[in-house]
Amino acid sequence: MNKPKIRFLITAVLLVFFLTGAGMVTYSYGPTGFPPGINPLTGLPVANINLLERRPFAVKVTNFPRNVRPQWGLSLADHVYEYYIGDNMTRFIGIFYGNDADRVGPVRSARLFDEHVMRMYKAYFVFGYADVRVRDELFDDDLIPYLVFETPTNCPPICRYDNGLSYNNLFLDTAGLTKFYAERGRQNSRQPLDGLVFDFSIPAGGQAGEKFGIYFTFLSYNRWEYDLKSGRYLRYQETESDRGSGLQYAPLIDALSSQQISASNVVILRVPHEIYYQSSSTLIWDMPLGKRGTGYAFRDGKIYPLIWSHASSDQLLTLSTPAGEPYPLKPGNVWYEIIDIGSQFSFHSDGSWYFTSSIP
């Protein structure tokens, strides 16, 4: 057995030893020097070490209309970003690296913010369509080789299914896409993905943060609740538009696993929202990532203020405390919620935090 595999097995055994409560093992990684077999996006060992020897896949997944729910595959993404796309709706972009999912979707159209994500993760970007003004930005010479969309010759792994949902029927098989590129000799080597810090130890400070909600618009809002047994936040999604008679939620389920969507970490990023293009029929939003911004992180039932930094377009966002110390994520997946810098937050008597996104 080669040395990388031996180190990976030792790491995996130590992690299991820690998680089962059999000892007092400390466990932390990052922001650099991740051992072989440790996913730099989750801080956890992967079941298949070969998955880390490729580029991540960034996949655009719809959230509206509501009959597209439950979506497929998001529970297997290492990171998921949710952000406002216009028309009072939000959409997801999931990063698949340490896991494969044999069906992800429904896959829908791109927006300008997706370029930031694609560049940060050095990812192949899978999407269904894009407005011509968005395509003009995405089709840069350095990005074109990594844009993945439906063609007559790439099903499988990008296929449409008769699911009764009209055009919301395009899905990706991530393992199939890896195989597809390997058979065609496409470049798909491991990329540097340093920058995040992971630690099972709960950071000092913080306030109670077991429940919180994010209100994007009257049409799109969500809620997260901490589950002590699993140590994860459970996702609830709106079921009705807010007409002033109370907010209505239901668990957001992954159709692939039949389990409720959950996250080890939920990170709220405050990012400027700007109108990129407007006409009588079209409104395109942009969320330009600057060098630095503020936000909040939820883990282990607590909320922490944080600073996010973006050193360059091809680097992951890094997270730190207001005092400048690296902020440690809990090992596991991360959901990023993008809200405008003018958004408000409040603490309610039921113990919940509420973030109301401001759309300029």
Beta sheet of 197-199, edge-to-edge order = 28-29, 197-199, 328-329
Residue 261 near residue 94 (C-beta atoms within 8 A): no
Distance CA 81, CA 73 (A): 14
Alpha-carbon distance of 97 to 99, in angstroms, equals 6
Residues 6+ apart with CB under 8 A from 351: 208, 210, 211
The label of the residue with tokens 């216009």 reads 86
Q: Over its length of 360 residues, how does the chain's per-residue pLDDT go in tens digits?
A: 554 444 444 444 444 444 444 444 456 898 999 999 999 999 999 999 999 999 999 999 999 999 999 999 999 999 999 999 999 999 999 999 999 999 999 999 999 999 999 999 999 999 998 999 999 888 888 899 999 999 889 999 999 998 777 889 999 999 999 999 998 888 789 999 999 999 999 999 999 999 999 999 999 999 999 999 999 999 999 999 999 889 999 999 999 999 999 999 999 999 999 999 999 889 999 999 999 999 999 999 999 999 999 999 999 999 999 999 999 999 999 999 999 999 999 988 888 999 998 887
Domains identified in the chain and CATH numbers: 50-183 (3.50.90.10), 197-356 (3.50.90.10)
